[in-house]
Amino acid sequence: MRERTISSVPKSVLLLLVAAFSLQIFWHFQQPAQQAKAESLMTPPSIATFRIASFGEPIALAKSMMLYLQAFDNQAGLNLSFRQLDYNKVEAWLTRILELDPPGQYPLFAASRLYGEIADEAKQRVMLDFVYQEFFIDPNHRWKSLAHAASLARHRLNDLPLARKYAQAIRLHATANEVPSWAKQMEIFLLEDMDELQSARILLGGLLQSGEITDPHEYRFLEQRLIELEQKTKTKK
């Protein structure tokens, strides 16, 4: 069949095609840019469902779920900041991942150092409280994330009582020899920052008398701090 030339096509049809094409281009550029929606992060399935889906490999599934959650802000063609996420759902995902792999540290690391460092105080507090609650399940292995949470509470939230609460939990519950002394001593220095000098002095004096400090350099340093605290206490009176 012989092809028809463009000149043989009626002008009305050509005008209709041009108009349709122009309308399509206009419609395309009038559409709003696609937006990533925080609510599109679904609530995680139950732990029972996760365990069935793991086929006997809960740690492997936990790592996969952590990758899924952490990559959620990079959806195809979209950018979604951590601040836009529903933090109740983020917390639920982190909880499920820890339930699959209790010895795993990364969910707590992510909570305190990734999701917990955004410029949104309410969401920061959600993450810090999550770290605090999960700490008690395994204090001797989860103290690092709580120590960082204490630092965030002190320096980002300017909430000294909250920082002291976290530091106190480390002192009372993270009692293994592997837990460094600086972590156990955080509460003392926070009390000093809070101007609760008497409480800080009592704690520090008790620590020195307990025999826990075996390094002579550390002992002398803390002994000097105790002297300074005693002098500050007298000056304050």
What pLDDT is attached to residue 77?
44
Portion of the chain with pLDDT greater than 70, in percent: 78
Q: Is the pLDDT of residue 176 over 50?
A: yes
CA 211 to chain CA centroid, nearest Å: 36
Return mean pLDDT, the chain: 80
Two tokens, residue 201: 């002095």
pLDDT band at 8 (very low <50, low <70, confident <90, very high): low
Q: Give tens-digit pLDDT for 37-89.
A: 544 778 888 888 888 887 888 888 888 888 888 877 655 444 456 677 889 99
**What's the mean pLDDT in 95-113?**
93
- Contact between 213 and 219 under an 8 Å Cβ cutoff? The reply is yes
What pLDDT is attached to residue 73?
62
Amino acid at the residue 24:
Q
Q: How many CA atoms lie within 13 A of 143 on its CB side?
A: 23
Indicate whether this model's pTM tops 0.75. no
- Contact between 107 and 66 under an 8 Å Cβ cutoff? The reply is yes
Q: Give tens-digit pLDDT for 13-30.
A: 556 555 555 555 455 545
Residue 45 has what DSSP assignment? P
Two tokens, residue 130: 């999550």
- Taking the C-alpha atoms of residue 76 and residue 214, their distance in angstroms, rounded to an integer, is 55
Domain ranges of the chain: 42-162
